[in-house]
Structure 1
Amino acid sequence: MNLPKHLLPTTVVGSYPQPDWLVDRAMLSKSVPRTRMRDMWRLPEEHLEEAQDDATIVAIRDMERAGIDIVTDGEIRRESYSNRFATALEGVDAENPAMIISRAGHETPVPRVVGKVRRTRAVEVRDMEFLRRNTDRPAKITLPGPFTMSQQAKNEFYKDDEELALAFAEAVNAEARDLEKAGANIIQLDEPWVRNNPDLARRYAVKAINRALEGIKVPTVVHLCFGYAAVVPGSTKPAGYSFLSELADTIAEQISIEAAQPRLDLGVLKDLAAKKIMLGVLDLGDPEIETVDVIADRIRNGLKYVAADRLVVAPDCGMKYMPRARAFGKLKAMADAAALVRREIG
């Protein structure tokens, strides 16, 4: 399966809305869980996998219908972007969580790392195989990044957080190699926490990311954002990244950034001249479906800083917390806007 040959290919960051018949969206809306949230699922265990498969097909078809070039499985089987993989690893105790207090003073239950972190089984390989069987479009799958996972757990085993992050990187790398064999055309690491703790990230995040992507032959992406629009209001989002230029030193081919909602000054992209840029052009905090013209202007703005053959068009972040009709409408407008700008630049 080849990647799109045309300029300005479109994709999603990762997640797509899960149906109300599958998940309790009111429960989901309260947090981005680090430990397991099994009560979120509306179906009993014996029917859950089949239901998740059906909902995944709906997500894939929506993306195809909207005109998205590079699709995902919508992360339909996940309670959050990170917890499904992190809690499947040996050495991680999610049943007896620790409590971490956020800067805002909120308590969040997180897994405790109580032993050597090891991947003893495939976690997302069936997801990738299912996606590959159900679309003829290029397919991307996402994994939580090692730095982010190390920040979302309580370290009770390793001598420091760097050692923990590198252990997570080993596990991610083993999974990524199997996902490549299962048919992934692109593999993406989600690393939003590098901007939460930039000083720590500067010490070892790039090292951990590079270990996680070592030996992967298909294109790789690192995604960072300011948080889901449903959880982090636009008014609290900074106007710039505290950790971005450092990602030039990663072996990832692409860097994925949120730009629409925070009205990011794209001048920062000059520091990533060697990378392809997955540019967020959909404001997921805006309840309105942007017009094709508005999105096209955001793409044109990106082209002032990034050559057309290095620009990939995407939403700001995952679409998990949105109503499905809104998510589909935004994706359709985005695909139409990319097609419009593509025609303009020939």
Structure 2
Amino acid sequence: MPKHLLPTSVVGSYPQPGWLIDRALLSKSVPRIRMQGLWRVPKPQLEEAQDDATTVAIRDMERAGIDIVTDGEIRRESYSNRFATALDGIDTDNPAVIVSRSGLKTPVPRVVAPLRRHHPIELRDLEFLRGQTDRTAKITLPGPFTLSQQAKDEFYGDEEALAMAFAEVVNAEARDLQRAGADIIQLDEPWVRNNPDAARRYAVKAIDRALDRITIPTVVHVCFGYAAIVPGSTKPTGYPFLIELADSQAQQISIEAAQPRLDLGVLRDFASKTIVLGVLDLGDPEIEPVAVIAERIRSGLRYVAPGRLVLAPDCGMKYLARTTAFGKLRAMCAAAARVRDEIS
């Protein structure tokens, strides 16, 4: 971990170039099953192309001044579908369809047999990242509760049992990533806010199982949905499921805060956790002035000690233009340096 106060991070993703992926099609949905048609590069050359785009993403983060880098999730069609559809027990050829409260129909994987991880899924991603940078390296995984909410269960017959089965395979993956040199492992759990009643029953239990025997720093990330898809005007100013994460084994809680104008008073209840605070509004197409971002940082410091605050964008950076994403990250790093000087 970086030694200075107010280290900067990304949540996970970074813009994938238009020569690699169909960005217009990408903006229309967050796929739960595989969408090979998103990729512009033929399959025989796809891995090499993804490596090249990943290198560009890492270099952009370094040039912007980011302390905690990821691989930009360049190889992923969404934050969760690549992991979910690589598991044994998943039927991806015959997806189910789930209907949201708003009537949106989404194809999802069907769970038809015991969930098993036949091989490491993100190990090469981490090894490539580790070989490209000497900065703190974070790798992200979809969380077990969210995975269970994005699948149709036709085997376990119990929603908690399904989440715990996903927790087992996520834990196996996390342990492989830890052995391979990850500095930080993050679980993405946005769906705890979609189904807070179920989350209260078993989300923390599943998260803790997924993090069992992980001794490096761990993060749980929550949000209200990507700015490119969910307008800020529809986002609440408080999470229906958040304080419950204070009891989880994760050392860090990552929250979207800038676009929804989150009431940061809730952070008082996380005295034992490091907070990864979203200070970049990705719904704003402009690069925010350093002074604006600095004030958001100061707002966080009213509730969180400097030694427990990490700065990040809100999530969904992959949907921005690359120049905008880079400019926002560079402005965030400049704002962090400004506030760091004020408190040192």
Matching residue within 116, 135, 141 for 1:143: 141
Could you tell me which residue of structure 1 aligns to residue 33 of structure 2?
A: 35
Q: Distance in 2 between matches of 1:158 and 1:243?
A: 25
Of 6, 9, 12, which residue of structure 2 is paired with 1:8?
Answer: 6
SS, match of residue 320 in structure 1: helix
Residue identity opposite 1:57 in structure 2: T
Code of the aligned partner of 2:244: E
Point out where structure 2 has 5 or more consecutive residues left out of the alignment: none
Distance 1:306 1:318 in 2: 24
Return 5+ residue gaps in structure 1 as ranges: none
Supply the distance in 1 between the matched residues of 2:73 and 2:91 (Cα, whole angstroms): 23
| Partners of 2:15 and 2:317 within 8 A in 1 | yes
Matched, 1:338 2:342: no
State the partner residue of 1:48: 46
1:183 offset after TM fit, Å?
Answer: 1.1
Q: Where does 1:43-82 land on structure 2 (aligned, <5 Å)? A: 43-82=41-80
Q: Following the alignment from structure 2 to structure 1, what is the Cα–Cα distance between the partners of residues 330 and 237? A: 27
Corresponding position of 1:310: 308
**What is the letter of the counterpart of residue 170 of structure 2?**
V
Name the structure 2 match of 1:242. Answer: 240
Who is 1:130 aligned against? 128
Tell me, what secondary structure is at the counterpart of 1:187? strand
Contact 2:35–2:77 (8 Å) recurs in 1: yes
State the AA in 1 paired with 2:43.
E
What CA distance in whole angstroms lies between the structure 1 residues aligned with 2:23 and 2:102?
23
Aligned residue for 1:205? 203
Equivalent residue for 2:190?
192
Equivalents in 2 of 1:122, 1:82: separation in Å? 15
The residue number in structure 1 matching 2:114 is 116
Partner of 1:228 in structure 2? 226
Task: Give the corresponding residue for 2:16.
Answer: 18
Given residue 38 of structure 1, which amino acid in structure 2 is its aligned partner?
A: Q
- Partners in 1 of 2:293 and 2:74 — Cα distance? 26
The Cα RMSD (Å) is 0.5
Equivalent of 2:180 in 179, 182, 193: 182
2:288 corresponds in structure 1 to: 290
- 2:278 corresponds to 1:273: no
* Cα offset, 1:318, TM superposition: 3.0
**Aligned AA for 1:97?**
P
Aligned partner of 2:97 in structure 1 is 99
- Aligned-pair CA distance for 1:270: 1.5
How far off its partner does 1:317 sit? 0.8
Distance of 2:77 and 2:307 partners within structure 1: 35
The question of whether the paired residues in 2 share the 8 Å contact of 1:145 and 1:169 is answered with: yes
Partner of 1:321: 319
State the shift of 1:184 in Å.
0.5
Aligned length, in residue pairs = 344
Counterpart check, 1:259 vs 2:257: yes
TM-score (norm 2): 0.99
Residue 173 of structure 1 corresponds to 171
Amino acid at match of 2:243: S
Contact 1:12 / 1:318 at 8 angstroms: preserved in 2? no
**Runs of 4+, deviation exceeding 3 Å:** none
Q: Secondary structure at the match of 1:222?
A: strand
Helix, strand or coil at the partner of 2:10? coil
| Offset, 1:120 | 1.1
AA paired with 2:155?
F
The Cα offsets for residues 16-40 of structure 1, whole Å up to 9 and x where unpaired, read as 0000000000110100000000000
Question: Cα offset for 1:169?
Answer: 0.3
Match of 1:115, SS state, is strand
Q: In structure 2, what is the Cα distance between the partners aligned to 1:343 and 1:181?
A: 36
- Secondary structure at 1:139 match in 2: strand
CA distance in 1, matches of 2:208, 2:251: 11
CA shift for structure 1 position 182:
1.1
| Post-superposition offset of 1:239 | 1.0
SS in 2 for 1:91: strand
CA deviations on 1:188-207 (whole Å, 9 max, x unpaired) are 00000001100000000000
Deviation, structure 1 residue 159: 2.2
Contact 2:294 2:336 in 1 (8 A): yes
